């Protein structure tokens, strides 16, 4: 309501005051020179007028006098959030609270994960973090309860673990595992100019100096076990606790009783794209256009990167990068589940997690996770349909131990039966919660519409199949698809290149070969199912997705692929620069965000796909669909301007080139080109082609590939009677039963022990407290 009362002059006054140099922190990180920055700042920002910025109106939260509780009634699986007010960033206790949050529930080796998730299996997932800001902070614990348990039971278990820390403190090992996260965060940011800029800007904003970035890490490193225990006693006292429950209530949307009035321009025509851009916008575009061309620097094989086929059969791409004390690796195995009979696909749904978490011959799952976090190493495995992969990251100082541990996970997996049972329960709970999230729901409706009658693409493992999976089945997958002769490795970091190649050769030489390395791509004709398909559920913000498959693949001319990239960015792929965002958000106020995508370079015979997705208010579903449909129709008609195309080329080029500022990304792309049977310089070819795209190119591919009449529109959310009538008059409307889309038997009722919490007479309901 406050927003609805704002006038244009109010917004202009706010902008002038707060978007001024007096209230601005600007950070530049990367290939810049101080003198050039100062010269350019004076030239382009010198006329920017300072303003008197009033001091912030801070409303301090009163010290809690007792526990506070609220209940959100929503047609969703139960969950729990606990919170405690703490202190601002920079307060002497903030650092102990950060460490406390990690030990309690912020690490995979945390107290809560070990107890209520892995051991007692009361919760399927739990998380904890401390959010300290400039004027205040809070520590929160959130958890999903497992079927057969109650929120009260889970809350009691969380309280028990907090009391243990308050009464007995934390161990030295826990303290060190929590502290190393600060070092990892700093070292990782060194590989990203944007990451460094954000960290420096944040430090300056909360503490007034970029030096706080390093001071904070030092203060975290100095935290003692006694300080963590004291912080737990002081700030996590029962009288300070705030509790919010999501209680499953059939038909409840979780929205407030009074909905805000619709203020979008219902029936109004959107303005011409860009008609309200400021003079400053045009000046900025002119300045960008006059800048020196950006040069794409890609490491060269034989010069910057060593590419070698090892005697054991492993293909490696290796590059030294001493800009940060870390080492990053990517592993790719050719072959995947598309060669497995459909009747044997169920284990793939959970195999990746068990291979990652299931322990080694020497370490059980708990000991493995403790060791990984002690070293600060990340290693995750993932099995796919045509290839599988793994990612590795380590601090340089711990690399020998980290790499040895990762190879134990890969080559000597325990595949612990008890951990498998936990993973099964987590998977079942995740599948039960599919119905809780509108955006996820609309994507499932979309997938069902397009793929439900394809035996492989439409396959959904049932609960019965998941619960029957055994460690031996996953071990057979591991043996079948992972070996040394179908393996590619990228290694980039702070090492000696020859030593790294020798290490990889020694490590993989004794390993076995894979039983199956065939990549089976599913060749088929595009599926066209026009119409509007809905699964109805009361939610505060229904989700919509639109899609149609298109007959395009990598055999199309490179000029077509380049033009399709720009077409997508014009339509909705570039955020605020796009037609869909400007119309549905800026002009009509129908959504907070809408984005499009266009897949166009798959293997020969594999269809491409164009689509978009967003959320909107219940009363805006039909109106928003009409607007999206009209923008797709305009785009398919091929009406684009030179200015529009050039703006998107500039944005696409800058975004594309920015990715190559990271050496690991650049080298991994070279490996990717070889795996995809493309030339190593494909990225450069694509960039050159994009920069030559003309309006005629965009119009040509739009008319060739976009067929508005082929769009499948998927809605997750209840339709109003008015919208139902409107949509049925324009589209083939089919309401799908929940059981038809959300398949697998995951929604079977479970015994419930849920009881209302003591002391709650009337549940509180707020939209912001729902998901």
Residue at a domain's end among 248, 274, 297:
248
49 and 73 part of one domain: no
pLDDT at residue 282 in the model:
78
434 plus 555 within the same structural domain: no
- pTM, rounded to two decimals: 0.92
Model confidence pLDDT, tens digit, residues 7-37: 889 999 999 999 999 999 999 998 889 899 9
Q: Does 603 share its domain with 481?
A: no
Six-digit token string for 50 = 């300072």
256 belongs to a structural domain: no
Are 121 and 221 members of one domain? yes
Structural domain harbouring 354: 306-508
pLDDT tens, position by position, 377-436:
999 999 999 999 999 999 999 999 999 999 999 999 999 999 999 999 999 999 999 999
Q: Summarize the confidence of residues 58-84 as an average pLDDT.
A: 93
574 found inside a domain? yes
pLDDT value at residue 290: 80
pLDDT of residue 276: 62
- Is residue 752, in this structure, part of any structural domain at all? no
Is the pLDDT assigned to residue 269 strictly greater than 70? no
49 and 110 belong to one structural domain: no
Q: Is the pLDDT of residue 161 over 60?
A: yes
φ, ψ of residue 251 to 5 degrees: the values are 85, -10
* 149 φ/ψ sector (left φ>0, alpha ψ -120 to 50, else beta): beta
**Residue ranges in 660-769 assigned as alpha helix (H):** 663-675, 682-691, 695-705, 721-730, 738-741
In this structure, the answer to whether residues 74 and 129 fall within a common structural domain is: yes
pLDDT digits (tens, 9 = 90+) for 298-327: 899 999 999 999 999 999 999 999 999 999
Q: What is the pLDDT of residue 640?
A: 93
- Token pair listed for 296: 């794409």
Number of domains in the chain: 4
717 and 654 within one domain: yes
Are residues 29 and 121 located together in one domain of the fold?
Answer: no
pLDDT above 50: residue 267? no
Which region among 126-130, 287-291, 390-394, 457-461 has the lowest average model confidence (pLDDT)? 287-291
Domain-terminating residue out of 248, 273, 294: 248
Sequence-distant (6+) residues with CB within 8 A of 575 are: 581, 593, 595
> Is the residue at 431 inside a domain?
yes
The reported pLDDT for the residue numbered 207 is 87
The pLDDT of residue 748 is 74
Q: Do both 103 and 174 map to the same domain?
A: yes
- The Cα–Cα gap between 628 and 594 comes to 10
Q: For 584-597, how does the pLDDT look when each residue is reduced to its tens digit (9 = 90+)?
A: 999 999 999 999 99
The three-class DSSP label of residue 261 is coil
- In the 8-state DSSP scheme, what is residue 513? P
**Run of H or E residues at 504:** helix 497-508
Which residue did the predictor score with more confidence, 274 or 49?
49
d(CA 91, CA 207): 10
Q: Closest Cα to residue 355, out of 307, 325, 391? A: 391
Rounded Cα distance between 222 and 175, Å, is 10
The pLDDT of residue 771: 26
Is the pLDDT at 93 greater than 50? The verdict is yes
Distance, in Å, from the CA atom of 159 to the CA atom of 147, rounded to the nearest integer, reads: 20
Please tell me the least confidently modeled range out of 11-15, 276-280, 298-302, 352-356.
276-280
For helices 94-101 and 172-189, the axis angle rounded to 10 degrees is 100
pLDDT digit string, tens, across residues 47-67: 999 999 999 888 888 888 899
What CATH number has the domain bearing residue 435? 3.30.830.10
- What's residue 3's pLDDT? 77
pLDDT digits (tens, 9 = 90+) for 500-519: 999 999 999 999 999 999 99
- pLDDT value at position 292? 78
Residues 581 and 612 in one domain: yes
Among 362, 361, 340, which Cα is nearest to 351's?
340
pLDDT in tens, 598-630: 999 999 999 999 999 999 999 999 999 999 999
Phi-psi region of 731 (alpha: psi -120 to 50; beta: other; left: phi over 0): beta
Q: What is the DSSP letter of 404?
A: H
493 with 569, same domain: the answer is no
What letter would DSSP give residue 106? I
- CA–CA gap between residue 101 and residue 103 (Å, rounded): 6
pLDDT score for 760: 39
pLDDT range class, residue 260, cuts 50, 70, 90: low
How far, in Å, CA of 37 to CA of 338, rounded? 53
- Answer yes or no: is 392 within a domain: yes
Q: What percent of the chain has pLDDT over 70?
A: 94
For residue 93, being part of any structural domain is answered with yes
Tell me if 290 is assigned to some domain.
no
**Pick from 225, 248, 271: which residue ends a domain?**
248
Are the beta carbons of 64 and 240 closer than 8 angstroms? yes
Q: Is residue 741 part of a domain?
A: no
Question: Over 60: is that where the pLDDT of 351 sits?
Answer: yes
Q: Are residues 45 and 114 in the same domain?
A: no
Q: What is the CA radius of gyration of the chain?
A: 28
């Amino acid at each position: 309501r406050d927003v609805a009362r704002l006038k244009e002059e109010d917004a202009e006054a706010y902008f002038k005051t707060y978007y001024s140099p007096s209230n601005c922190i600007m950070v530049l990180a990367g290939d810049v020179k101080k003198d050039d920055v100062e010269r350019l700042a004076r030239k382009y920002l010198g006329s920017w007028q300072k303003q008197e910025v009033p001091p912030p109106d801070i409303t301090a939260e009163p010290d809690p006098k007792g526990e506070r509780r609220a209940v959100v009634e929503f047609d969703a699986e139960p969950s729990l959030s606990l919170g405690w007010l703490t202190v601002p960033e920079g307060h002497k206790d903030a650092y102990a609270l950060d460490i406390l949050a990690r030990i309690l529930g912020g690490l995979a080796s945390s107290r809560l994960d070990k107890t209520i998730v892995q051991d007692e299996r009361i919760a399927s997932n739990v998380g904890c973090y401390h959010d300290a800001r400039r004027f205040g902070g809070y520590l929160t614990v959130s958890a999903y309860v497992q079927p057969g348990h109650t929120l009260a039971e889970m809350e009691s278990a969380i309280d028990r673990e907090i009391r243990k820390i308050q009464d007995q403190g934390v161990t030295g090992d826990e303290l060190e595992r929590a502290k190393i996260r600060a070092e990892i965060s700093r070292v990782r940011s060194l590989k990203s100019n944007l990451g460094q800029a954000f960290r420096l800007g944040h430090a300056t904003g909360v503490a007034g100096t970029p030096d706080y970035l390093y001071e904070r890490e030092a203060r975290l490193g100095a935290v003692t076990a006694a300080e963590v225990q004291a912080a737990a006693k002081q700030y996590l006292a029962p009288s300070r606790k705030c509790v919010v429950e999501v209680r499953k209530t059939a038909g409840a949307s979780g929205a407030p009783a009074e909905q805000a009035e619709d203020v979008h321009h219902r029936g109004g025509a959107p303005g011409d794209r860009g008609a309200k851009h400021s003079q400053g916008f045009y000046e900025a575009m002119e300045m960008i256009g006059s800048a020196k061309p950006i040069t794409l620097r890609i490491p060269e094989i034989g010069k910057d990167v060593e590419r070698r086929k090892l005697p054991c059969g492993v293909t490696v791409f290796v590059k030294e990068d001493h800009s940060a004390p870390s080492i990053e690796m990517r592993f790719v195995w050719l072959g995947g589940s598309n060669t497995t009979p459909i009747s044997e696909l169920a284990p793939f749904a959970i195999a990746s997690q068990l291979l990652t978490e299931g322990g080694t011959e020497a370490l059980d799952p708990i000991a493995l996770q403790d060791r990984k976090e002690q070293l600060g190493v990340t290693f995750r495995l993932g099995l796919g349909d045509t290839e599988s992969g793994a990612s590795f990251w380590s601090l340089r100082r711990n690399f020998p131990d980290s790499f040895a541990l990762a190879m134990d996970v890969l080559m000597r997996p325990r595949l612990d039966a008890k951990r498998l049972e936990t993973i099964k329960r987590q998977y079942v709970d995740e599948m039960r919660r599919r119905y809780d999230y509108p955006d996820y729901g609309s994507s499932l409706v979309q997938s069902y519409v397009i793929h439900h009658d394809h035996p492989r693409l439409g396959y959904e493992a049932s609960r019965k199949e998941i619960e029957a999976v055994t460690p031996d089945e996953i071990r057979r997958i591991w043996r079948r698809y992972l070996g040394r002769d179908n393996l590619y490795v990228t290694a980039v970091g702070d090492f000696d290149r020859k030593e790294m190649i020798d290490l990889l050769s020694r490590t993989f030489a004794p390993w076995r070969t894979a039983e199956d390395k065939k990549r089976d791509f599913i060749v088929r004709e595009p599926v066209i199912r026009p119409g509007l398909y809905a699964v109805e559920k009361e939610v505060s913000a229904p989700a919509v997705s639109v899609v149609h498959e298109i007959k395009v693949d990598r055999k199309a001319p490179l000029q077509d692929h380049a033009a399709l990239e720009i077409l997508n960015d014009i339509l909705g792929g570039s955020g605020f620069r796009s037609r869909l965002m400007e119309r549905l958000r800026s002009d009509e106020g129908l959504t907070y965000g809408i984005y499009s995508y266009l897949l166009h370079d798959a293997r020969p015979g594999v269809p491409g796909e164009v689509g978009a997705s967003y959320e909107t208010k219940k009363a805006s579903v039909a109106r928003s669909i009409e607007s999206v449909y009209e923008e797709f129709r305009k785009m398919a008609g091929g009406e684009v301007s030179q200015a529009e195309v050039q703006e998107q080329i500039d944005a696409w080029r800058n975004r594309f080139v920015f990715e190559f500022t990271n050496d690991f990304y650049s080298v991994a792309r070279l490996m990717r080109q070889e795996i995809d049977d493309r030339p190593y310089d494909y990225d450069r070819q694509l960039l050159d082609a994009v920069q030559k795209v003309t309006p005629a190119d965009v119009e040509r591919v739009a008319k060739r590939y976009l067929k508005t009449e082929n769009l499948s529109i998927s809605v997750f959310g209840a339709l109003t009677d008015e919208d139902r009538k409107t949509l049925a008059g324009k589209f083939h409307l089919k309401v799908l039963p929940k059981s038809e889309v959300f398949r697998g038997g995951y929604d079977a009722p479970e015994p419930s022990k849920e009881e209302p919490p003591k002391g709650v007479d009337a549940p509180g309901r707020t939209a912001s407290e729902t998901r």
